[in-house]
Amino acid sequence: MRTNIVLDEKLVKEAMKLANVKTKREAVHVALRRFVQSGRQKRLLDLYATGGIRKDYDYKKARSGD
Confidence at residue 43, expressed as pLDDT on a 0 to 100 scale: 77
Q: Does 63 reside within a domain?
A: no
Q: Are 22 and 16 in contact (CB under 8 A)?
A: yes
- Counting the structural domains of the chain, the total is 1
Confidence at residue 31, expressed as pLDDT on a 0 to 100 scale: 95
SS3 content of the chain, % helix, strand, coil (to 5): 60, 0, 40
Q: Does 17 reside within a domain?
A: yes
Q: Does 60 reside within a domain?
A: no
User: Domain limits at 10?
Assistant: 1-48
Q: Does 10 reside within a domain?
A: yes
pLDDT digits 0-9 by tens, 3-62: 899 999 999 999 999 999 999 999 999 999 999 988 888 877 777 667 666 777 777 887
Q: Does 15 reside within a domain?
A: yes
Q: Does 64 reside within a domain?
A: no
Q: Does 8 reside within a domain?
A: yes
Per-residue CA distances from 20 to 25, 27, 34, 38, 64 (Å):
12, 8, 14, 19, 43
Neighbours of 27 (CB within 10 A): 22
